[in-house]
Amino acid sequence: MPSPRDPAERAVRVDLAAAYRLIHRLGLDDSIYTHISARLPGPEHRFLINPYGLRFEEVTAGNLVTVDLDGRVIDDPYGHGINPAGFTIHSAIHAAREDASCVLHTHTVAGVAVSCQEEGLLPLNQWSMQFTDRIAYHAYEGIALDLDERERLVADLGDKFVMILRNHGLLTCGRSVGEAFKLMHNMERSCRAQLAIQAAGAPLVRPSAAIARKTAGQYATFGEKVASGALADAEWEAFKRMLERSDPDYKD
């Protein structure tokens, strides 16, 4: 087992392992592919990412791999290594955005399907209205192996916390692991709802642009309060309690 770590690092490790387990539990993982990365406390620019070859339900706080901003392995307790290509997108965002403590990327059927639609995510319901004027889009350039793509991806992301990667999938950033996870959870539900609505073929009730923007602002205000510590992150803690019952080994 890895040696004991300082409490701040331990907290990030536990939260990141929880995110991996929850992504699996909700059916949002893609075999051993896609990644969630988190910045470790301190000035050293160290990040945690999953060991390559493990499924998300096998990730624990102790087997996460520590890498630098270039994806070089610093600490690999079990010798699994990482997928260097998998950190390409993540490293670009971490380097450009100090507020992106966590970067989460998925390839789900619903997310990929919406990423292939010309209009992207539509503000049709309360979940999706959260993201009104708050989604970035990045054109598909092939599998993320080309380091030159990082500059374009960061430029497209700008200051937003959510991105749809065209013909590819979804990406969220968070000031905490919990925030990145909750944004992805709502993005995924928004995409599923949109596909269900489109499949039904019934006439749509479209909220006005003003109402959509108002709703997005309400979500953003609440998120700011949680990020600042003015409010406890009750939803994230509730998700972790769910894991305590089903996957208590995630903290090992």
Q: Apex CA 71: angle with CA 94 and CA 35, to 5°?
A: 65
pLDDT of amino acid 1? 44
What is the pLDDT at residue 142?
85
Phi, psi for 74 (deg, rounded to 5): -105, -40
Question: Domain segments of the chain: what residues?
Answer: 7-251
pLDDT for 89 equals 87
Q: Which residues of 240-251 are buried (b: 16+ CB within 10 A; e: fewer)?
A: beebeeebeebb
Q: What is the CATH number of domain 7-251?
A: 3.40.225.10
- Report d(CA 14, CA 116) in Å as an integer: 34
DSSP state of 33: B
- Cα 252 from Cα 62, distance rounded (Å): 6
Which element (helix H / strand E) includes 75? strand 73-75
What is the reported pLDDT for 145? 67
Q: How many other C-beta atoms are found inside a 10 Å radius of the C-beta of residue 151?
A: 11
The H-assigned helical ranges of the chain are 7-25, 86-96, 109-115, 126-129, 149-157, 177-200, 209-228, 234-246
Nearest to 126 by CA among 51, 63, 57, 189: 189
What does each of the 252 residues of the chain score in pLDDT, given as a tens digit?
Answer: 444 568 999 999 999 999 999 999 999 999 999 999 999 999 889 999 999 999 999 999 999 999 999 889 999 988 989 987 778 889 999 999 999 999 999 999 999 999 999 999 999 999 999 999 999 999 999 887 677 888 999 999 999 999 999 999 999 999 999 999 999 999 999 999 999 999 999 999 999 999 999 999 999 999 999 999 999 999 999 999 999 999 999 999
Please classify residue 44 by burial: count the beta carbons closer than 10 Å to its beta carbon, then call 0-12 exposed, 13-18 middle and 19+ buried: exposed
